Amino acid sequence: MRFGEAFMEELKSRVRVSDVVGRHVKLRRQGREYAGLSPFTNEKTPSFFVNDQKGFYHCFSSGKHGDAISFLMEVQGHSFPEAVEHLAGLAGMDLPKTDPRAEERARERKAAISWMERAADHYAKTLLRAPGEAAREYLKGRGLSKTAAQYFGLGFAQDSFSDLKDNLIREGAEERQLIEAGLLIEPDDKSRGSWDRFRNRIMFPIHDSRGRLVAFGGRAMSDEQRAKYLNSPDTPLFSKGRLLYNYHRARAALADPKNPARGLIVVEGYMDVIALARAGFPQAVAPLGTALTEDQLALIWRAGPDGYLCFDGDKAGLRAAYRSIERALPLLKPGQSLRFVMMPEGQDPDDLIRESGAPAFAALLERSVALVDMLWKRELDRESLNTPEAKAGLKTRLFEALREIKDPSVREAYEANLLGRFDRQFGRVKPQWSAKPREKKADKAVLAAGAQRLATNSRQAQTLLGGILLFPDMLSEVDETFFELTFDDPAHAALQRGVLRYWRQTKAIEVAGLHTHMQREGLEEALRTLLSRRSLITAALGGADADMSDRAALWSDEAATYLEQARESASDAQRSRMTESIRKNNSEAMHRLMRAHQRTRD
């Protein structure tokens, strides 16, 4: 079975090589690549690598190299059609039906791309001639050199209804080909003939993910023109919701080992992309006149684990950022997220770089806001939170957002992060003690509150103890608090004692040595059980990328809440015993408990 070029391109864009290989090989991330033991040879040291950005695997021990399709053919013995069918199932794509016109359409597509390239050449030459003088001056005023304009293939469509049409038809193009490619406009009244779509505009070539020229964007040179920016219409070559401007260059730049960036920078306009590339940020792209789509997000994450979305710092920019959150939440996966770069109000990246230079933009990238932080801000800013009802509404909205996240591990981590913030900022609802201990309803309320407190204490204990076991470097700041904590669970208490013994032996504490010590102490099962909640514990302490001081501060906040809950629990127990003493008219026991209660308060 033959598969069309468009189908194969779409399939490869939806399936990462590491996703396929990871079903057969245990992979570990190493920088921009994944490494594992070769599935083709019997080796003890990993020499098998997968690079998602470049779309291939390479095995140094066997010399084998290929993509996801060839991997399935090698490992599972699939034929080429079987491997494609398997990948299509993973990607949720239907196999194309047999089409006798497929080869003909492939030839038509190739011819259309050829005419797009000739159109780009014509526009580029026009920019350098007399009709392009005003456009050249405009680009010069924006700080764009002739070399930069040539690198990005910029051109100029002169103010004529037939300049491009006449030129390409002289070269052998058919009018119908140029209409279908979006270069000409055909009126409803076909007797009038077609005319050039782009007139009096600076032209920006648009390429697909493989670098083939498939469309144009045009920037108006006159304020009287109806649209400041005009893109090609959707054609057999081009779908604006499935491509990003400059993606082919940006993805290649991001795959360069010398580039430390973790993801694409998504800005609004063509000139912003060009300005960033010239300032040392070649991984910049732009959507094509629409809000980000699911296909464009997939392109972003195919290039790197993060995407940096730039928005204006005003209310409109915030609204656009919030809309991006709605689109992204259902698509989140482990190791795949977004960050938000909020520009100074009234400035775009091009303005900022021309006025303040590349370091100013680099500083904004450093201060970029994680998606989870932007989600929290969105829900926090929706209304004033000065009533219990408003706070309950906030919590309801957080749960609604969490339900949008499809991946269970990501949803679990977001839940720990967001609900932890809610508890730290607004506190937990404390049960009201009834003066009527014999009323069954009051007894049930007390029991329910106690059960809730036990569940909360257990989660906090796991966070506090697990945080130390995962990030023992925090002990240098929180050791006194940690060793003063009391854990009700015997396994937790045993792990705490194990940490204390190791801490006394060495102050150069590190994870591997600590865990080995725990295993020697016979605490391997308790350690494994606790660390099964690794993702929740890590999220509650700021995430995997948090620095030690921030993580220690979050740990200390959690410890303070835990200690307060412990004091409340002790006080609750005392009150319960006092109530029982009153009921039995045991004055001696009552006075003894009152003195103990006062000491607790003091």
Q: Report the pLDDT averaged over residues 408-425.
A: 90
How confident is residue 433, by pLDDT bands cut at 50, 70 and 90? Answer: very low
pLDDT at 444: 41
Residue 344 pLDDT > 80 = yes
Residue 598 pLDDT > 60 = no
Q: Report the pLDDT averaged over residues 103-121.
A: 89
**Half-sphere exposure for 443 (CA within 13 Å, toward CB):** 5
Q: What is the mean pLDDT of the chain?
A: 84
Beta strand residue intervals within 221-270, DSSP E: 229-231, 263-266
pLDDT at 583: 54
- In order of their start, the domains of the chain are 5-91 (3.90.580.10), 102-238 (3.90.980.10), 247-369 (3.40.1360.10), 440-601 (1.10.860)
Q: Report the pLDDT averaged over residues 155-179.
A: 95
pLDDT at 600: 45
| Whether 309 contacts 341, CB under 8 Å | yes
Q: Report the pLDDT averaged over residues 406-410.
A: 91
Pairwise CA distance, residues 124 & 141, whole Å:
18
pLDDT at 440: 39
pLDDT at 437: 40
pLDDT digits (tens, 9 = 90+) for 522-552: 888 888 888 888 888 888 888 877 778 888 8
User: CA-based Rg of the chain, rounded to a whole angstrom?
Assistant: 31
Report which of 372, 320, 325 is spatially closest to residue 348, judged by C-alpha positions. 320
pLDDT at 233: 94
pLDDT at 100: 64
Q: Which amino acid is at 50?
A: V
pLDDT at 247: 94
- Structure pTM? 0.62
pLDDT at 79: 77
| More confident of the two residues 506 and 548 | 548
Q: Report the pLDDT averaged over residues 410-432.
A: 79
pLDDT at 175: 93
| Whether 178 contacts 115, CB under 8 Å | yes
Residue 61 pLDDT > 80 = yes
**CB burial of residue 182 (10 Å; 0-12, 13-18, 19+):** buried
Q: Which amino acid is at 544?
A: A
Residue 357 pLDDT > 60 = yes
pLDDT digits (tens, 9 = 90+) for 273-290: 999 999 999 999 999 987
pLDDT at 164: 97
pLDDT at 570: 57
